[in-house]
Chain A
């Protein structure tokens, strides 16, 4: 019987082509979505971790509470000691001190008189130690527009747009005015080593400067300290479970209950509400399948009804030959499952092909200005898919369920109509 059904499906194009195409397109898109999520999520995690959150972030308890204000006075004064301890405890991780602080940049004219002043937000990180990953993690190395990478603790990198607005050139000296960790005023001269264009709106928008961590420590009077310590797994593969072990250890071994200056650690996903996003992304694949089940179900239900009208004659005949209604109905379900399987196989192949293209070539969205969601979550400039295991099977969920449901509903007409009236179709 199944052979008969397969032959029927394959030979009667007008019956099967449209449903197969529907399933084909639906599953291809589902697979593409799965591959898109599978590729973009890790990229987003990587980028957001590198730029902002780390895989694990350590700050003082007081700093974390007021983190939107970036209170310099709540910095970890013994950051370097903490790093040494953590490096010993977690040899598969590297730890980086970073300090965020604000200030006023004083730009002099040829005579050394103030030409202009502008507020800046500075990020201090290890930019000059040979082999430091920070130049790459902060995307400075790949974004240099003019000049060169910093080579001295008092070299800074500024955005190209700032250089243009204030007529600054490579090698120019500027003065950064800010307050030290103790609240007194500090004036520090810096040399402009290079300018950067990130192509990421959030990073390029004016006022961002990068200084070396040691230069910042000297000018802010915080030798050995930093506002935050970021931990990165050396293989750059983040999972919540791995990070949890690390934060648990830090919080139980280094935190002191009630001491705002003692450290506290957070996982990447807990720093910027990324957890919700990651869960959502996991659910997204199933939401997509659900949406395609619904869409394809409605389409296939209708085409099933139309086909059913066309096939009343056939149904009547089969009943006349002595097939039971239930048997005819079940064979229609088998038939639609066959159609679903064929459509899904080809749809999955097409979807995998698209994901492969997306994986190999990517789509550059840097021009679209959506790279930053504004809450420390960064999209990569080039969207890349990834062929993840789900790509191979996820299509079968909507691809089989939708045609089956479609036939389940549209085929009910067989039961509703009297045998005799189905049979009547044979007479015309």
Chain B
């Protein structure tokens, strides 16, 4: 495990108001994740995996406690600053691939670069590189509807990786894929983790995913119950 801490959560609590009381989804979570880690959050449905990823990804704010991601205190960020943090440093991969259907594969991958204000030439090179990582150079001009599930998820990976973010958050990335495609995806991400030293944080209850993880943090009812490094 490397020394640089990318994510630092301390006494993190996330509570949702439900009817007239509160539902506590995350209870006093404290953990650290270092640069270059390939880590999975596992646990039964409802244990708080997605909630934790969202807070780390600055899409949600903690109710109390603190979370620091790349030196930014999530609880103190404005909307704009949070967007900036995501834009520059964080890539997301979802269970449903969430490709924009009206755009081609290449355009979907290009989208984050537009927000970063990259020049046309830069974008072209970076998109080509990202599509090469996931082996979809041939399908650059296709629309998402023309792709298989595995291919779609690889486009989503390319989109998350194209800007070479420090952190990639992947929520159940294999849930809609068969075994063969799941392995392919994970191998791709494993390779990118090694080559680019990108930190990956997964949320999953898929055994196939877990076997690739170098560290597994188990959640139950919003609490960390086990944290093991393989």
* Chain A residues with a Cβ under 8 A of chain B: 1, 4, 7-8, 11-12, 15, 313-314, 316-327, 418-420, 423, 426-428
Contact = CB atoms under 8 A, between A and B. Distances in A.
B114 interface: yes
B197 interface: no
Contact of A321 (B54, B102, B107, B112): B112
A12 B100 CA distance: 10
B86 A321 contact: yes
Nearest to A3: B114
A7 B92 contact: no
22 contacts: A1-B114, A7-B103, A12-B102, A15-B102, A316-B98, A317-B100, A319-B59, A320-B57, A320-B86, A321-B92, A322-B84, A322-B85, A322-B87, A322-B88, A323-B115, A324-B79, A324-B80, A325-B83, A419-B79, A426-B98, A427-B50, A428-B96
A7 B102 contact: yes
A420 B79 CA distance: 12
A7 B107 contact: yes
A322 B79 contact: no
A62 B218 CA distance: 105
Interface string B78-115: 01101111111010101110101111000100011011
A419 B98 contact: no
Top 4 nearest A-B pairs (CB, nearest first) are: A322-B87, A322-B86, A420-B60, A324-B83
Interface of B: 50, 54, 57, 59-60, 79-80, 82-88, 90, 92, 94-96, 98, 100-103, 107, 111-112, 114-115, 159, 171
B79 A325 contact: yes
A418 B88 CA distance: 21
Contacts of B102: 7-8, 11-12, 15
**Which of A4, A7, A322, A326 counts the most chain B CB atoms within 10 A?**
A322
Contacts of B96: 426-428
Contacts of A427: 50, 94-96, 171
A322 B115 contact: yes
A427 B173 CA distance: 11
A11 B107 CA distance: 13
A423 B54 contact: yes
B174 to A, nearest CB: 15
Given A4-B111, A419-B60, A319 B98 contact: no
B61 to A, nearest CB: 8
B100 A314 contact: yes
Contacts of B100: 8, 314, 317
A13 to B, nearest CB: 9
Contacts of A321: 86-87, 92, 111-112, 115, 159
B74 to A, nearest CB: 12
B59 A420 contact: yes
B107 A4 contact: yes
Given A4-B111, A317-B98, A419-B59, A323 B83 contact: yes
Nearest to B143: A11
Contacts of A318: 111
B178 to A, nearest CB: 20
B167 to A, nearest CB: 12
A11 B94 CA distance: 24
Nearest to B86: A322
A420 B52 CA distance: 12
B22 to A, nearest CB: 16
A124 to B, nearest CB: 75
Contacts of A314: 100
B98 A313 contact: yes
A1 B113 CA distance: 10
Given A7-B103, A420-B59, A420-B60, A426 B114 contact: no
Contacts of B80: 324, 326
B41 to A, nearest CB: 15
A8 B88 CA distance: 24
B103 to A, nearest CB: 7
A320 B103 contact: no
Contacts of B50: 427
Contacts of A423: 54, 59-60
Contacts of B115: 321-323, 327
A324 B79 CA distance: 7
Contacts of A325: 79, 83
B17 to A, nearest CB: 12
A58 to B, nearest CB: 70
Contacts of A4: 103, 107, 111, 114
A298 B111 CA distance: 32
Contacts of A322: 83-88, 90, 112, 115
A20 to B, nearest CB: 15
A320 B59 CA distance: 7
Contacts of B101: 12
A234 to B, nearest CB: 62
Given A313-B98, A427-B50, 16 more contacts: A7-B107, A8-B103, A318-B111, A320-B86, A321-B87, A321-B115, A321-B159, A322-B83, A322-B112, A323-B115, A324-B80, A324-B83, A327-B115, A419-B60, A426-B94, A427-B171
Contacts of A7: 102-103, 107
Nearest to B60: A420
A426 B97 CA distance: 8
Contacts of B60: 418-420, 423
Contacts of A1: 114
A273 B57 CA distance: 71
B107 to A, nearest CB: 7
